[in-house]
Amino acid sequence: MNELSRAHIGNCAPYAAIWSGFEGANRLEELPWLHVGVFKQMDFRTTSAGIHHERVLNSSATSGSVASRIALDRASSELQAASSAAILSDFLDETARPLLVLDSSRSLIARGTVSARIAAALSLRPLASDIHFLLAEAENPSSLDWTVLDRLLDSHEELLVYGFTWMLWLALGDCDIPEATLERLSSRRIRFVHSGGWKKLKARTIGPEAFNTQLLSHCGPGSTVTDYYGLVEQVGVIYPLCEAGFRHVPRWANVLVRDAWTLNPLVGETGLLQLMNTLPRGAPYQNVLTEDLGRIEPGTCPCGRSGARFVLEGRVPQAELRGCANV
Partner 1 sequence: MTNREKLQDLLQDILLLDPSEFRFDLMRDDVQMWDSLAVVAIAVGVDETFGYHFTPEEAMTIKGVPDIMALLETKSISFAE
Interaction site with partner 1 (CB under 8 A) = 54-55, 74, 77, 81, 105, 108-109, 111-112, 114, 118, 122, 125, 129-133
Cβ proximity to partner 1, 115 vs 195, nearer residue = 115
**Beta strands per DSSP E along 230-322:** 239-240, 247-248, 253-258, 271-277, 287-296, 309-315
Residue nearer to partner 1 on the CB measure, 74 or 251: 74
Question: What is the rounded CA–CA span in Å between residue 71 and residue 39?
Answer: 10
Q: What are phi and psi of 289, to 5 degrees?
A: -90, 120
**Minimum distance, C-beta of residue 224 to partner 1, in the bound complex (Å):** 23
Cβ closer to partner 1: 52 or 251?
Answer: 52
The set of residues, in sequence order, having a beta carbon less than 8 Å from that of 75 and lying 6+ positions away, is 50, 51, 52, 281, 282
Q: Which residues of 91-111 are buried (b: 16+ CB within 10 A; e: fewer)?
A: bbeeeebbbbbbbbeebeeee
As measured in angstroms, the least distance from the Cβ of 81 to partner 1 is 8
Rounded CA separation 231/288 (Å): 10
CB of 49 to partner 1, least distance (A): 19
205 vs 183: CA distance, rounded Å: 28
- Least distance from partner 1 to the Cβ atom of residue 56, Å: 12
Q: Which is nearer to partner 1, 93 or 183 (CB)?
A: 93
Name the nearest CA neighbour of 149 among 166, 165, 171, 169.
171
State in angstroms the smallest separation of the CB of 54 from partner 1: 5
Q: Compare residues 133 and 246 and give the one whose CB is closer to partner 1.
A: 133
Q: Which residues are 97's β-sheet partners? A: 128
Q: Which of 109, 203 has the CB closer to partner 1?
A: 109
Nearest approach in angstroms of CB 114 to partner 1 is: 6
